[in-house]
């Protein structure tokens, strides 16, 4: 087994954005995808025309990825990272010091290394809420809790606490940032959750799939009680904590090491309109206006037709992209994908009745 020591570096580097702009079947337990959506609505027709135009431009300019018409209007796929606050709220970088050398493989998928952790194959749906920063953080918490527990014990972290209770994280459905979400996990803890209307966990996700470009969800009020269907009512008794949280240096090899040893990481990048039409291949920005900042989870890497890529999961449901997953150019800090990467480790000592863990 590879043993590693994580050091937190007190200096905080200023990292710049690059302004240039496989898939295994996702599992979404209880997710309502609304299969009866009216495909002939004016919004859907407009989305189809826009997607067709983008797809034609993509075909003419690159063969690395394929675009197509998504199920929902393009504007219903929400972003939600306050990019201007990323650097000022970035956590101190952690440096992974390995006690033995490792040879990183050319291809890596966390789903293959840790098959016991079903959360690695799940894709969540943020709906009409700009909560990508909270959802991708909660996904990474969940993955790492399973990966680092002695018997790969599962605990599905929800995004409710981050959206509704973490005031330092941002403004709920109006957007947030990555660093404070990880710090909140360490300082306050995060409760369990499940998909929309699933009645799973302390709080089910409060929003359904987004169907209208004019629809905007508002974050619910912070609650100290779990939903009545859950076995625990006091939120404080359900919360689980992180032991340490940190940013990962904006270096391709460092990010790969972090994922290989500790599991998926959270990252943010600049989303342009063409990304919303992604279907397959290795995404590189081709056309369309800037939509805003977006947070996702990186769970692996590889090379496709000579192009290096990061393997990522999105939070727009399994009907988007490649069953909810996508690949994006690796090693170029494309659209800032390597500039703001965050990670952390779970804290089992706060739950000794459940776990014993040797740090």
In Å, what is the CA distance from 197 to each residue of 70, 80, 156, 194?
Answer: 24, 22, 15, 8
> Is 152 in the active site?
no
C-alpha span between 325 and 340 (Å, rounded): 20
Which distant-in-sequence residues (6+ apart) come within 8 Å of 56 by Cβ? none
Distance of CA 31 to the CA centre of its chain: 17
Tell me how far apart the terminal alpha carbons of the chain are, to the nearest angstrom: 14
Question: Any idea what the Cα angle at residue 26 is, between residues 344 and 314, rounded to 5°?
Answer: 55
In Å, what is the CA distance from 183 to each residue of 111, 175, 318?
Answer: 26, 17, 29
C-alpha span between 264 and 261 (Å, rounded): 9
- Out of 132, 146, 165, 210, the active site residue is 132
Would you put residue 335 in left (φ > 0), alpha (ψ -120 to 50) or beta?
Answer: left
Q: Which two tokens stand for residue 250?
A: 């904006």
> Is 197 in the active site?
no
> Is 202 in the active site?
no
- Out of 82, 125, 262, 314, the active site residue is 314
Q: Strand 265-272 to strand 4-8: parallel, antiparallel, or no bridges (unpaired)? A: unpaired
Active site residues: 132, 294, 314
């Amino acid at each position: 087994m590879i043993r590693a020591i994580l050091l937190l570096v007190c200096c905080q580097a200023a990292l710049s954005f690059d302004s240039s702009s496989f898939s295994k079947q996702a599992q979404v337990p209880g997710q309502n995808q609304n299969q009866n959506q009216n495909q002939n609505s004016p919004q859907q027709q407009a989305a189809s025309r826009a997607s067709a135009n983008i797809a034609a431009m993509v075909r003419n300019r690159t063969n690395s990825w394929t675009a197509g018409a998504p199920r929902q209007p393009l504007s219903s796929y929400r972003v939600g990272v306050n990019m201007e606050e990323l650097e000022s709220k970035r956590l101190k970088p952690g440096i992974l010091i390995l006690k033995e050398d490792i040879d990183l493989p050319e291809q890596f998928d966390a789903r293959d290394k840790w098959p016991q952790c079903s959360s690695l194959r799940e894709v969540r749906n943020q709906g009409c809420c700009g909560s990508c920063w909270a959802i991708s953080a909660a996904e990474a918490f969940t993955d790492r809790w399973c990966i680092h527990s002695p018997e790969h014990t599962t605990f599905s972290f929800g995004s409710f606490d981050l959206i509704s209770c973490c005031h330092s994280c941002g403004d709920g459905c109006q957007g947030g940032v990555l660093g404070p979400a990880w710090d909140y996990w360490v300082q306050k803890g995060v409760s369990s959750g499940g998909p929309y209307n699933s009645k799973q966990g302390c709080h089910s996700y409060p929003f359904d799939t987004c169907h209208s470009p004019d629809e905007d969800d508002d974050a619910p009020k912070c609650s100290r009680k779990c939903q009545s269907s859950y076995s625990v009512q006091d939120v404080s008794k359900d919360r689980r904590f992180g032991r340490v949280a940190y940013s990962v240096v904006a270096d391709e090899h460092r990010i790969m090491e972090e994922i290989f040893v500790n599991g998926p990481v959270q990252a943010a990048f600049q989303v342009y309109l063409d990304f919303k039409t992604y279907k397959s291949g290795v995404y590189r920005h081709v056309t369309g206006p800037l939509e805003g900042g977006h947070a996702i989870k990186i769970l692996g890497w590889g090379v496709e037709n000579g192009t290096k890529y990061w393997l990522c999961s999105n939070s727009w449901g399994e009907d988007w992209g490649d069953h909810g997953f996508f690949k994006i150019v690796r090693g170029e800090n494309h659209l800032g994908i390597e500039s703001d990467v965050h990670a952390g480790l779970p804290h089992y000592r706060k739950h000794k009745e459940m776990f014993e863990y040797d740090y």
